[in-house]
Structure 1
Amino acid sequence: MQDRDAASGRGNADYSWKEFDSEAYFQHYYGEPHPDDDLVIQVAVEALQRAKPLGEDLDIVDVGTGPNLIPFFCSLARARRLTAWEYAESNVAWLEREIARDDLRPQWQHFWRVVRDAYGDACPLPDNPLPALREKCSVTQGSIFDLPRQAWDAATMFFCAESITGRHDEFEAACAQFARCVRPGGMLAAAFLVRSEGYVVGDRPFPVLKLSPETIERVFREHAREVEAKEIGIVEREIRSGYSGFIFLTGSAL
């Protein structure tokens, strides 16, 4: 693990989250679908299919959703209720507008096809997920550090805890809150960026911590069992500015 003295780096409060450009982020990271995005979806769907109780609809939260419908798409088939827990006001507004649309943007059409293929014929899904999302989904403005304990059956987190702070103590605190927001035995699934020095959105810099699977497993073993972290899609060059692959973690909340 990286030295805990890294806590002296810039923390979450040092970044301009109120000025986060949601549409610029969407266009940069999802404007052109990439095979690694499809991989994230496939492993997330596999985890959600295994979420217990099997065969039952679940109350699911996605933490730090950002300008991204992929977490909703992955969880929709298993969700009784679906909550987006997002801090930035701009992202909350963006998500609400996006879900209110009549039709999916072409990029979301692609990712929704990947989700439908991942679930397969055993779980038929509609051509357009937006009506079901409007019925099941709510968007809550809140910090990961303020998540309520044991409030949901399952939780997902895509590229959040490592991309909101340059401090390892804050990263560990964020992961702890994420793990504790799920009822005992509930599924935890999270994706983390790899080999990044940070990212820029609308000319504003934001942080990303460098992490290894061993670091992530160590952090989560304090709060979960059956913890497994895998490197997926790791390459020697950046896929887009900000990362060159990801680590996918699964576990069961204590």
Structure 2
Amino acid sequence: MASSATALKTRRRGSGPTADTVAPPRNDQVDWNLFNPRIYHAHNYRTLRDDDRQLVTHVRDFFGSVRIAPTAKGLDIGPGANLYPSLSMLPFCGQVELVEYSAANIAWLRRQQLWLRRFDRSWDKFWSLYGEHPAYAPFVRANRPLDAFREKATVSPGSIFELKRARWDVGTMFFVACSLSADRGEFFRGVSRFLEALRPGAPFAAAFMTGSSGYEIKNQTFPAFPVNADIIKHALTRHAPGAEITPIKTDLRPEVGMVLATGFRRR
């Protein structure tokens, strides 16, 4: 994968001598097939961290309070090795589509759908937390998380930049737009493409890592754009001007925070 050390170099324009500067790595400069979902899952989701507990609780309370048709189609863009965003939509949707770019992540997600695979209990605590809300409780009691995932979820290869417009009725995007590139323009374009993929009025939940300039998985470095709450709000303004921005307390990495945005695609 491309890192800041391997990014393309550009030259500054000016009347004086030229100087090499390192351009922020863009999405297409990264080999996302080197992403290791097994290690990522083990590090982040083998247990229920407190920051994820906060995220699940806020998303649960939001989706549990809105009206979603039983035939609704849900979208989770760029899930990687994280199932809890898609789990948040399963009780309310007829189908949830996980659109993922990395071949390694696609293979990992599809392995979760194999009925002969050993049942992964790591999602039970997330599922139980959803079940504490009355809107979720009947479905959660009647289904194990991966059984529901195998029944309703589909995994599709695709890019956030190529999503079809106005196709899905509810959506989630967790740590994607801020972690696919170090380029500001690509962050804003990623947020827009996600929201444009939702039908007008569709509810959504989107999580962002704030202050991150990149991250590493098993000696592979990946880019990020260091957003903050104001930048996130600005990115949402066009398509979801009334979105609620909620800071999430986290100790995941020094000087890195989390923000959750919930709201509705503009009608």
Q: For residue 44 of structure 1, what is the amino acid of its counterpart?
A: V
In 2 relative to 1, CA 218–121 (structure 1 residues): closer, same or farther, beyond 3 Å? closer
In 2 relative to 1, CA 72–109 (structure 1 residues): closer, same or farther, beyond 3 Å? same
Q: Residue 91 of structure 2 contacts residue 136 of structure 2 at CA under 8 Å; is this kept in 1?
A: no
Counterparts of 2:154 and 2:146, CA distance in 1: 13
State the partner residue of 1:195: 211
What is the TM-score normalised by the length of structure 2?
Answer: 0.84
Residue 104 of structure 2 aligns to a residue whose secondary structure is helix
In 2 relative to 1, CA 162–77 (structure 1 residues): closer, same or farther, beyond 3 Å? same
Q: Verify: 1:94 aligned to 2:108, yes or no.
A: yes
Q: For residue 36 of structure 1, what is the amino acid of its counterpart?
A: D
What is the TM-score normalised by the length of structure 1?
Answer: 0.88
Larger deviation: 93-102 or 240-249?
240-249
Q: Residue 29 of structure 1 contacts residue 240 of structure 1 at CA under 8 Å; is this kept in 2?
A: no
State the partner residue of 2:181: 165
Residue 64 of structure 2 aligns to a residue whose secondary structure is helix
Percent identity over the alignment? Answer: 29
Residue 201 of structure 2 aligns to a residue whose secondary structure is strand
Q: How many residues matched? A: 243
Q: Verify: 1:68 aligned to 2:64, yes or no.
A: no
Larger deviation: 165-174 or 207-216?
207-216
In 2 relative to 1, CA 67–17 (structure 1 residues): closer, same or farther, beyond 3 Å? same
- Structure showing greater radius of gyration is 2
State the partner residue of 2:264: 252
Counterparts of 2:23 and 2:65, CA distance in 1: 39
Residue 78 of structure 1 aligns to a residue whose secondary structure is coil
Q: For residue 44 of structure 2, what is the amino acid of its counterpart?
A: Y
Residue 248 of structure 1 aligns to a residue whose secondary structure is strand
Q: Verify: 1:204 aligned to 2:220, yes or no.
A: yes
Q: Verify: 1:115 aligned to 2:127, yes or no.
A: no
Q: What residue ranges of structure 1 are gaps of 5+ in the alignment?
A: 1-6
Q: Residue 198 of structure 1 contacts residue 207 of structure 1 at CA under 8 Å; is this kept in 2?
A: yes
Following TM superposition, by how much is the alpha carbon of 1:129 offset from its aligned partner in structure 2, in angstroms?
Answer: 2.4
- Over the residues paired in the alignment, what is the CA RMSD in angstroms? 2.1
Q: Deviations for 1:145-184, whole angstroms, at most 9, x for unmatched residues? A: 0000000111111111101100110000000000000111
Q: What residue ranges of structure 2 are gaps of 5+ in the alignment?
A: 1-21
Larger fraction in helix:
1
Which stretches of structure 1, 4 residues or longer, exceed 6 Å deviation after superposition? none
Q: For residue 61 of structure 2, what is the amino acid of its counterpart?
A: E
Q: Verify: 1:49 aligned to 2:61, yes or no.
A: no
Structure with more contact order per residue of length (Cα contacts < 8 Å, sep ≥ 6): 1
